[in-house]
Amino acid sequence: MDIRHFIGIDVSKNTLDWAVYANKGIIWQIQSENSPLA
């Protein structure tokens, strides 16, 4: 099995940082608010 992509999530009190990594580095990155939906 050849793994080509990695998904990373960094959880902090106020934000969630999302990223997708490939062999050449970060290919997608976004930050969202860390709050429950009502």
Q: Which has the higher per-residue pLDDT, 5 or 1?
A: 5
CB neighbour list of residue 1: distance below 8 Å, 6 or more residues apart: none
pLDDT at 17: 97
C-alpha to C-alpha distance for 3 and 22, rounded to whole angstroms: 9
Closest CA to 20 of 10, 6, 32: 6
pLDDT of residue 24: 83
pLDDT, residue 36, reads: 86
pLDDT at 38: 55
pLDDT in tens, 3-37: 788 999 999 999 999 999 998 889 999 999 999 87
Distance, CA of 7 to CA of 37 (rounded, Å) = 23
Look at residue 37 in the predicted model and tell me its pLDDT.
Answer: 76
